[in-house]
């Protein structure tokens, strides 16, 4: 009983009112600190986590490596010395392989590595040997051989082979000297048959601006349609006057016999689909001018650019696929405007009566007024000579596809391609530039995507996009590695995969969902929560700090 | 055909030989003396590399190919074209309506003897009269049958009678896919997107929430008795507005465009200044002949328009082509195998009601929609139709008053009843105006999921007696996934009115699911009533090519009845519409409540308490104040 009162007494009296106040103030201070700690440690991260956008991990470091990509292209060159070109002495001293490195210094530093493991073999045995895609076999024949005519130094065949007339060797030369003597020639052959510096630079022109590109290779690359997994080739017969002309064209047969062999040959590059249509009452955008001197209508080269627009509205887009379309139009002028001829800039008539527009297609004007007399009753049935038409369209198609016209150095003779319309080495040339172009395009797409995602912080990055990006990056890396190893076919395949994956990632619609919900709006919405919560916390923290300062000052004053 | 092709390829090779440079051939001969076969190939072929010899980087470049210009002329003299595998027909039917309006119906038909659904190597890719864009769509998505219509306005069956090809207001699309298609939903989704691109319409709004698979109402109209409705998709967009941007791509599908033939009349400012406008595309495979030995694809483009010249034109009932379309006809489409204008003169056998000029001796009788009608026919492929002026302007002058119209045998209407924003009731009323025959009809209703139907309240009453449907197919909706589908086979007693009612509850949508103008209301597509209506006259069941187009769309299976499809009005239902600043308000309110709760809690936790001397009450303080002034001792 006494204890009890005692206790009561102690609790009530002993500390005194001042101490009690101190303890109460201390408790309040601790509570404020604890709440502030909970808000900072639990609350803010929880809010951050629940309101943040999902962003999957992207291989940014590898992508930035792609930005400064070093391309190394290597070509397998087999140099075959035929009997009589080397002395037995030189044959003995033959090393197993001889690597010749050659670097072209380009602004973006693309060293091209030329490897030439040389072996000796018999000419006749290997004449018809199949070499792998992208490689080149050079047969060196004695200077005096009668195989090539006098003035021909190099003969390039339909396959991947070339005959090279050897320059005179001194029998005292070591093999090294012989080879170094051959080097210039071999390099010329390779730049004709696989790729030249210019081609590669032109293929990269989208990615890097360079002053060194010649006008011509630039024009070539501008003319050729961009690399794509597939192309739609559409032949359209434009008949503006169905009342007087009833036109018939055997497009099916012509495509089978003229276009299809080329497309079969080009199958490794892309999928091609061919279709055709006949459009009636289509008019050109310009009125041709009548020229009295030739009693014919003429279209000058300056007005050609206005021709297409009204025609294009009728061509119809390709609804079923999103591949680029190459249009080839055959325009048969109506009877009041025939014959119609196209004149080039120097006012000469164009013999083919055709013209083309880079990356779009070609138009050929086909005059039919000579095919019937005035007594013929309209509509006149006219059969179109498809061989004539297809010859022009085939030439235009080659240009559009980027089968570049090579300018061999003097003394070179190029075998004409076979029935396919494309020699193996021409295909290789195309494959080389296409793979480089694909790699350039894919890496540009990926880097710009990464840049975009990096800059705009509230874009959602889903897992599928991250997966596409990383598969694009790995394909790109393997494509570069394959190019380095000289496996052209694999390099092309990987570069195509890279392009597909990068485009899929870039154009994924899920990237756009939260694009227009910036952070400042998020903060604005939560201000009614933040303001009343933070003001007391901040105020009491300030108070605690100021009290602590005051106490320290007091203590200092006391000690003084 | 094969021989012809051989000849061409030979020409091709010969042409190439003329391209070869003789000098180049010489060098090759020397170079290749050990490989004779190679040389022979190289002789006949050169590439086109002659092209582009002196290219420069102009935008437009002439293509330089050496061409032998002399050949080809000889070829054409002996040339006789192979019979075309495709043909095109066009026709216009004008029917003066009893209300004084004029109904003009254009039909264009392209028939092509080919098969888009061929398997394997030989794809259809060479088009002549058939539009390439549609052909590519058909073969890519393996479409068996495609029907698409865009309609502005509502067809008033009671005033205008039955249209030749009915269509609901807005856009309607129904497609039968080929039975080899594995992913029908995927194809359907892609197809609607492609079609919305082709027709410039918002068909991309068709998704699973407004697509149904009717089990009985939409049977294939062409060949192929597909009964498995898994391959059928049907969707309507009753909200779709139809205007010139839909007409232009539709006209582009015609071989002659709008440059020649009947399509010249389609001037959009006149066509859309009308009480009803409907354009449609129907693609289906049909029989080539009576025995059905070969299959052909038919593309039928129809355009129906009703002009209200009577009300808008000072009460005059006269009309002419020029007045209606502000154009006259000058020629038929040169590609058309037949091009005709029909005018319905059934009510005017003796010429006592109206007078047509120019008059035509050609008359045609056709059994259309259970009625034998007489038409004046103008054949545009004949020069005498156009007369001296080289222009054809049809003119109709009324002499007397028109008689009464036969009431259509089948007619339907629909409305929403009820009040408030919670529940409602859909009433569909179907009339059978046949004096003594009862016939069954198929009623199909597709109701969006946000109207939750109470199917137990479904009642069907005719002549105030319960009418039990003999077949009910009901697929309940899934929220945000699929709509309700209700199909019923109802027997309509003679001369009766049948009422179908069902109650529904309106759902609350999420705030993102509302349209930009939510207070306008939400559309519910038309009900579709399909019926075989007993015919007054014997329908012709035999299949002949020279039937007019308007009477040959729906295949007739038996003589005693004809097929009719009636669309009711679409419904406009108001849903409970929230205040759209609500989410922000909710966030603000919640945050404020949280902040107030938190504030008092915080206050409680951090405040220091201390015992305070209670201050004296106000009266006491006042008293003390006075006492202090007076100098009296203060109160304790």
CA distances from A215 to A199, A210, A537, B53, B55 (A): 12, 11, 70, 14, 10
Cβ proximity of A217 and B52 under 8 Å: no
To the nearest whole percent, how much of chain B has pLDDT over 90? 37
The torsion angle over the Cα atoms of residues A395, A400, A401 and A407, rounded to 10 degrees, is 70
pLDDT beyond 50 at B137: yes
What's the N-to-C CA distance of chain B in angstroms?
Answer: 131
At A143-184, the pLDDT tens digits run: 665 556 666 666 666 666 666 666 666 666 666 666 666 666
More confident residue, A335 or B305: B305
Whole-angstrom Cα Rg for chain B: 37
CA B116 to chain centroid, in Å, comes to 21
- Chain B residues close to A305, C-beta within 8 Å: 59-60
Highest mean pLDDT among A302-316, B260-274, B306-320: B260-274
- Assess B48–A contact: CB distance below 8 Å, yes or no: yes
Cβ proximity of A113 and A73 under 8 Å: yes
The residue whose two tokens read 């009900």 is B527
- Chain A residues close to B255, C-beta within 8 Å: 280
Distance from CA of B224 to the nearest CA of A (A): 25
| Residue ranges in A93-229 assigned as alpha helix (H) | 123-126, 175-193, 197-203, 215-223
B606 pLDDT band (50/70/90 cuts)? confident
To the nearest whole percent, how much of chain A has pLDDT over 70? 63
CA distance linking residue B49 with residue B528, whole number of Å = 63
Q: Which residues contact A33 (CB under 8 A, 6 or more apart)?
A: A541, A544
- Chain B residues close to A321, C-beta within 8 Å: 140
- Chain A residues close to B67, C-beta within 8 Å: 351-353, 388, 391-392
Burial readout B530-556 (b: 16 or more C-beta within 10 A, e: otherwise):
bbbbbbeeebeeeeeeeebbbbbbeeb
Ramachandran region, residue A305 (left: φ > 0; alpha: ψ -120 to 50; beta: rest): alpha
> Cα B444–B445–B450 angle (5° rounding)?
160
Other CB atoms within 10 A of residue B433 CB: 17
Contact between B128 and A278 using a beta-carbon 8 Å cutoff? yes
- Assess B51–A contact: CB distance below 8 Å, yes or no: yes
CA distances from A466 to A485, A494, B518 (A): 28, 18, 38
| pLDDT on residue A197 | 64
At B28-67, the pLDDT tens digits run: 333 333 333 332 322 223 333 333 333 333 356 666 654 4
Burial readout B38-76 (b: 16 or more C-beta within 10 A, e: otherwise):
bbeebbebbbbbbbbeebeebebbbbbbebeeeebeebb
The residue whose two tokens read 């705009």 is A456
CA distance linking residue B247 with residue B150, whole number of Å = 9
- Assess B582–A contact: CB distance below 8 Å, yes or no: no
To the nearest whole percent, how much of chain A has pLDDT over 90? 4
Highest mean pLDDT among A315-329, A355-369, B17-31, B249-263: B249-263
- Please compute the mean of the pLDDT values over residues B157-162 and round it to a whole number: 88
A405 pLDDT band (50/70/90 cuts)? low
CA distance linking residue A544 with residue A548, whole number of Å = 6
To the nearest whole percent, how much of chain B has pLDDT over 70? 82
DSSP element (H, E) containing B297 = strand B295-307
- Assess B634–A contact: CB distance below 8 Å, yes or no: no
- Chain B residues close to A372, C-beta within 8 Å: 76
| pLDDT on residue B441 | 94
| pLDDT on residue A507 | 85
| pLDDT on residue B39 | 29
* Closest among A506, A509, A217, A247 to A371, alpha carbons compared: A247
B74 pLDDT band (50/70/90 cuts)? very low
What are B62's two structure tokens? 């002439």
Contact between A529 and B4 using a beta-carbon 8 Å cutoff? no
- Please compute the mean of the pLDDT values over residues A106-129 and round it to a whole number: 35
Contact between A372 and B606 using a beta-carbon 8 Å cutoff? no
Q: Which residues contact B139 (CB under 8 A, 6 or more apart)?
A: A320, B116, B117, B123, B124
* Closest among A156, A157, A81 to A116, alpha carbons compared: A81
What are B516's two structure tokens? 């930009």
| pLDDT on residue B288 | 76
pLDDT beyond 60 at B344: yes
CA A125 to chain centroid, in Å, comes to 40
How confident is the prediction for chain B on average, in pLDDT? 81
Contact between A250 and B128 using a beta-carbon 8 Å cutoff? no
Burial readout A484-497 (b: 16 or more C-beta within 10 A, e: otherwise):
eebbbebbbbbbbb
Q: Which residues contact B91 (CB under 8 A, 6 or more apart)?
A: B106, B107, B108, B262, B338, B339, B340, B341, B342, B548, B549, B550
B451 pLDDT band (50/70/90 cuts)? very high
Interface test with B, best of A161, A386, A388 (most B CBs within 10 A): A388
For B300, phi then psi, to 5°, come to -115, 120
Highest mean pLDDT among A244-248, B76-80, B451-455: B451-455
Cβ proximity of B433 and B407 under 8 Å: yes
CA distance linking residue B424 with residue B521, whole number of Å = 14
Question: CA-nearest residue of chain B to A148?
Answer: B31
Interface test with A, best of B65, B78, B112, B121 (most A CBs within 10 A): B65
At B500-545, the pLDDT tens digits run: 999 999 998 887 788 888 889 999 999 999 999 888 777 766 655 5
B427 pLDDT band (50/70/90 cuts)? very high
ipTM for the whole predicted complex goes beyond 0.90 = no
CA distance linking residue B384 with residue B361, whole number of Å = 12
Contact between A352 and B584 using a beta-carbon 8 Å cutoff? no
At A496-508, the pLDDT tens digits run: 888 888 888 888 8
| Residue ranges in A52-174 assigned as alpha helix (H) | 60-67, 88-92, 123-126
For B412, phi then psi, to 5°, come to -150, 155
CA distance linking residue B376 with residue B356, whole number of Å = 9
Which candidate from B67, B128, B335 shows the least CB-CB separation from A388? B67
- Assess B50–A contact: CB distance below 8 Å, yes or no: yes
Burial readout A386-425 (b: 16 or more C-beta within 10 A, e: otherwise):
bbbbbbbbbbbbbbbbbbbbbeeeeebbbbbbbebbbbbb
Contact between B76 and A158 using a beta-carbon 8 Å cutoff? no
| pLDDT on residue B172 | 95
CA distance linking residue B154 with residue B168, whole number of Å = 7
> How many CB pairs (< 8 A) connect A and B?
287
At A1-47, the pLDDT tens digits run: 333 333 333 334 445 556 677 787 888 888 888 888 998 899 889 98
Please, is B176 exposed, middle or buried when counting C-beta atoms within 10 Å of its C-beta (0-12, 13-18, 19+)?
buried
| pLDDT on residue A382 | 85
CA distance linking residue B487 with residue B484, whole number of Å = 10
Which candidate from B30, B52, B610 shows the least CB-CB separation from A24? B610
pLDDT beyond 60 at B144: yes
| pLDDT on residue B80 | 64
pLDDT beyond 70 at B112: yes
For B508, phi then psi, to 5°, come to -90, 130
Please, is B435 exposed, middle or buried when counting C-beta atoms within 10 Å of its C-beta (0-12, 13-18, 19+)?
exposed
Cβ proximity of A335 and A380 under 8 Å: no
What are A319's two structure tokens? 């609804």
A140 pLDDT band (50/70/90 cuts)? low
The residue whose two tokens read 């038996």 is B558
Lowest mean pLDDT among A200-214, B408-422, B440-454: A200-214
| pLDDT on residue B40 | 30
Highest mean pLDDT among A107-121, A136-150, A343-357, B86-100: B86-100
The torsion angle over the Cα atoms of residues A491, A496, A500 and A505, rounded to 10 degrees, is 30
More confident residue, A510 or B323: B323
* Closest among A349, A363, A258 to A304, alpha carbons compared: A363
Interface test with B, best of A277, A430, A539 (most B CBs within 10 A): A277
| pLDDT on residue A39 | 87
Lowest mean pLDDT among A268-272, A401-405, B547-551: A401-405
For B338, phi then psi, to 5°, come to -145, 145
- Chain A residues close to B261, C-beta within 8 Å: none
- Assess B596–A contact: CB distance below 8 Å, yes or no: yes
* Closest among B251, B112, B132, B48 to A234, alpha carbons compared: B132
Residues 123-152 of B with CB under 8 A from A: 125-129, 131-133, 136-137, 139-140
- Please compute the mean of the pLDDT values over residues B389-395 and round it to a whole number: 86
Concatenated DSSP letters of A13-39 = HTTHHHHHHHHHHHHHHHHHHHHHHHI
B568 pLDDT band (50/70/90 cuts)? very high
- Chain B residues close to A351, C-beta within 8 Å: 64-67
Q: Taking the alpha carbons of A119, A125, A126, A129 in that order, is the dihedral positive or negative?
A: negative
| pLDDT on residue B47 | 34
Strand ranges of the sheet holding B143-152, from the earlier edge strand across to the other edge: B211-212, B232-237, B170-177, B143-152, B276-287, B295-307, B102-112, B86-96, B336-344, B371-379, B363-368
Interface test with B, best of A274, A364, A385, A429 (most B CBs within 10 A): A385
What are B562's two structure tokens? 């004809």
At the topology level, CATH places domain A228-401 in Collagenase (Catalytic Domain) (3.40.390)
- Chain B residues close to A320, C-beta within 8 Å: 136-137, 139-140, 194
More confident residue, B584 or A96: B584
Distance from CA of A26 to the nearest CA of B (A): 9
pLDDT beyond 80 at A132: no
| pLDDT on residue B88 | 92
pLDDT beyond 90 at A441: no
Query: What is residue B32's DSSP assignment?
Result: T
For B329, phi then psi, to 5°, come to -90, 135
Which candidate from B27, B80, B334 shows the least CB-CB separation from A149? B27
Question: CA-nearest residue of chain B to A19?
Answer: B610
- Chain B residues close to A418, C-beta within 8 Å: 41-42, 45
Strand ranges of the sheet holding A230-239, from the earlier edge strand across to the other edge: A271-280, A230-239, A325-331, A361-365, A354-357, B61-63
B22 pLDDT band (50/70/90 cuts)? very low
| pLDDT on residue B175 | 94
Residue A530 DSSP SS3? helix
Which candidate from A147, A251, A364 shows the least CB-CB separation from B31? A147
How confident is the prediction for chain A on average, in pLDDT? 74
Question: CA-nearest residue of chain B to A381?
Answer: B81
| pLDDT on residue A413 | 62
- Please compute the mean of the pLDDT values over residues A414-418 and round it to a whole number: 60
The residue whose two tokens read 């590109």 is A213
- Chain A residues close to B75, C-beta within 8 Å: 383, 385
- Chain A residues close to B82, C-beta within 8 Å: 248
| pLDDT on residue A487 | 76
């Amino acid at each position: 009983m006494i204890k009890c009162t005692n206790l009561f007494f102690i609790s009530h009296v002993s500390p005194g009112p001042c101490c009690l106040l101190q303890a109460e103030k201390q408790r309040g201070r601790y509570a404020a600190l604890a709440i502030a700690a909970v808000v900072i440690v639990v609350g803010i991260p929880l809010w951050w986590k629940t309101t943040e956008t999902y962003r999957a991990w992207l291989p940014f470091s590898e992508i930035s490596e792609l930005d400064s990509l070093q391309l190394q292209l290597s070509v397998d060159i087999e140099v075959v010395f035929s009997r009589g070109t080397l002395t037995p002495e030189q044959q003995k001293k033959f090393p197993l392989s001889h690597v010749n490195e050659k670097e072209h210094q380009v602004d973006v530093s693309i060293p091209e590595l030329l490897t030439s493991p040389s072996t000796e073999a018999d000419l006749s045995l290997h004449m018809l040997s199949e070499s792998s895609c992208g490689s080149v076999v050079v047969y060196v024949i004695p200077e005096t051989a009668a195989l090539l005519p006098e003035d021909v130094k190099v003969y390039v065949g339909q396959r991947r082979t070339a005959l090279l007339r050897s320059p005179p060797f001194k029998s005292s030369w070591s093999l090294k000297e012989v080879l170094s003597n051959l080097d210039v020639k071999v390099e010329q052959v390779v730049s004709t048959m696989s790729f030249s510096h210019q081609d590669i630079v032109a293929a990269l022109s989208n990615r890097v601006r360079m002053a060194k590109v010649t006008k011509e290779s630039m024009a070539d690359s501008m003319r050729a349609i961009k690399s794509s997994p597939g192309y739609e080739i559409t032949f359209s017969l434009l008949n503006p006057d169905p009342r007087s002309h009833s036109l018939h064209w055997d497009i099916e047969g012509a495509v089978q016999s003229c276009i299809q062999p080329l497309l079969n040959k080009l199958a490794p590059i892309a999928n091609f689909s061919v279709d055709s249509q006949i459009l009636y009452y289509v008019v050109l955008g310009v009125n041709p001018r009548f020229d009295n001197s030739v009693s014919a209508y003429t279209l000058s080269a300056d007005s050609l650019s206005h021709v297409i627009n009204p025609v294009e509205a009728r061509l119809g887009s390709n609804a079923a696929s999103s591949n680029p379309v190459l249009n080839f139009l055959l325009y048969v002028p109506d009877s009041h405007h025939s014959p119609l001829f196209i004149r080039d800039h120097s006012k000469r008539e164009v013999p083919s009566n055709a013209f083309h527009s880079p990356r779009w297609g070609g138009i050929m004007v086909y005059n039919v007024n000579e095919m019937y007399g005035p007594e013929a009753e309209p509509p006149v049935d006219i059969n179109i000579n498809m061989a004539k038409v297809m010859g022009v369209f085939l030439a235009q198609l080659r240009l559009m596809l980027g089968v570049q016209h090579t300018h061999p150095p003097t003394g070179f003779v190029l075998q004409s391609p076979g029935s396919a319309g494309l020699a193996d080495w021409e295909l290789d040339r195309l494959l080389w530039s296409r793979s480089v172009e694909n790699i350039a395009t894919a890496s540009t797409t990926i880097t710009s995507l990464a840049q975009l995602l990096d800059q705009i912080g509230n874009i959602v990055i889903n897992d599928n996009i991250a997966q596409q990006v990383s598969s694009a990056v790995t394909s790109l890396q393997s494509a570069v590695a394959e190019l380095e190893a000289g496996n052209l076919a694999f390099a092309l395949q990987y570069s195509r995969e890279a392009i597909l994956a990068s485009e899929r990632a870039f154009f994924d619609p899920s990237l756009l969902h939260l694009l227009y919900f910036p952070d400042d709006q998020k903060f604005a919405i939560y201000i009614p929560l933040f303001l009343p919560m933070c003001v007391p916390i901040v105020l009491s923290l300030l108070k605690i700090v100021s009290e602590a300062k005051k106490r320290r000052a007091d203590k200092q004053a006391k000690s003084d | 055909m094969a021989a012809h092709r051989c000849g061409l390829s030979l020409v091709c090779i010969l042409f190439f030989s003329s391209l070869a440079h003789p000098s180049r051939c010489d060098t090759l001969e020397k170079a290749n003396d050990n490989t004779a076969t190679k040389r022979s190939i190289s002789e006949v072929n050169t590439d086109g590399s002659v092209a582009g010899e002196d290219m420069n980087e102009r935008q437009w470049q002439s293509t330089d190919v050496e061409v032998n210009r002399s050949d080809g002329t000889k070829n054409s003299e002996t040339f006789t074209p192979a019979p075309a595998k495709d043909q095109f027909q066009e026709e216009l039917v004008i029917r003066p309506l009893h209300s004084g309006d004029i109904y003009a119906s254009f039909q264009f038909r392209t028939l092509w003897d080919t098969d888009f659904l061929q398997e394997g190597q030989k794809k259809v890719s060479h088009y002549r009269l058939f539009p390439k864009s549609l052909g590519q769509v058909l073969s890519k998505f393996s479409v068996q049958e495609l029907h698409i219509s865009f309609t502005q306005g509502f067809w008033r069956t009671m005033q205008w009678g039955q249209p030749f090809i009915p269509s609901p207001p807005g856009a309607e699309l129904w497609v039968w896919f080929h039975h080899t298609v594995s992913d029908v939903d995927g194809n359907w989704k892609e197809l609607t997107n492609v079609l919305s691109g082709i027709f410039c319409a918002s068909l991309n709004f068709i998704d699973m929430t407004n697509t149904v698979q009717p089990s009985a109402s939409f049977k294939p109209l062409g060949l192929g008795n597909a009964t498995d409705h898994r391959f059928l998709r049907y969707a309507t967009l009753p909200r779709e507005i139809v205007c010139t941007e839909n007409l232009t791509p539709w006209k582009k599908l015609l071989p002659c465009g709008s440059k020649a033939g009947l399509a010249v009349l389609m001037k959009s400012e006149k066509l859309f200044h009308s009480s009803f406008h409907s354009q449609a595309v129907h693609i289906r495979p049909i029989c080539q002949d009576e025995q059905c030995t070969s299959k052909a694809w038919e593309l039928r483009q129809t355009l129906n328009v009703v002009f209200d010249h009577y009300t808008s034109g000072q009460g005059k009932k006269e009309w002419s082509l020029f007045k209606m379309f502000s154009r006259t006809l000058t020629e038929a489409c040169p590609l058309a195998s037949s091009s005709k204008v029909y005018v319905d003169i059934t009510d005017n056998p003796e010429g006592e009601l109206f007078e047509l000029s120019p008059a035509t001796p050609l008359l045609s009788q056709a059994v259309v929609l259970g009625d034998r009608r007489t038409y004046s026919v103008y054949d545009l492929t004949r020069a005498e139709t156009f007369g001296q002026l080289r222009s054809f302007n049809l003119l109709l002058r009324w002499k007397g008053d028109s008689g009464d119209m036969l009431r259509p045998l089948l007619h339907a209407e629909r409305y929403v009843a009820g009040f408030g924003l919670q529940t409602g009731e859909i009433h569909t009323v179907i009339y059978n105006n046949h004096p003594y025959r009862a016939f069954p009809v198929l009623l199909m209703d597709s109701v969006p999921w946000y109207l939750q139907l109470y199917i137990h309240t479904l009642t069907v009453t005719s002549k105030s007696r319960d009418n039990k449907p003999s077949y009910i197919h009901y697929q309940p909706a899934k929220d945000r996934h699929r709509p309700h589908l209700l199909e019923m086979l109802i027997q309509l007693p003679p001369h009766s009115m049948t009422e179908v009612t069902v109650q529904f509850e309106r759902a609350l949508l999420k705030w993102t699911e509302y349209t930009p103008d939510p207070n306008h209301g939400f559309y519910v597509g038309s009900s579709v009533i399909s019926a075989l209506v007993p015919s007054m006259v014997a329908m012709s069941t035999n299949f002949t090519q020279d039937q007019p187009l308007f009477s040959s769309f729906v295949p007739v299976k038996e003589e005693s009845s004809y097929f009719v499809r009636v669309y009711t009005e679409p419904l406009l239902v108001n849903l409970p519409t929230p205040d759209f600043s609500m989410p922000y308000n909710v966030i603000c309110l919640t945050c404020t409540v949280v902040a107030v709760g938190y504030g008092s809690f915080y206050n409680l936790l951090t405040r220091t308490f201390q015992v305070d001397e209670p201050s004296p009450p106000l009266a006491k303080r006042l008293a003390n104040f006075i006492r202090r002034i007076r100098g009296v001792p203060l109160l304790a």
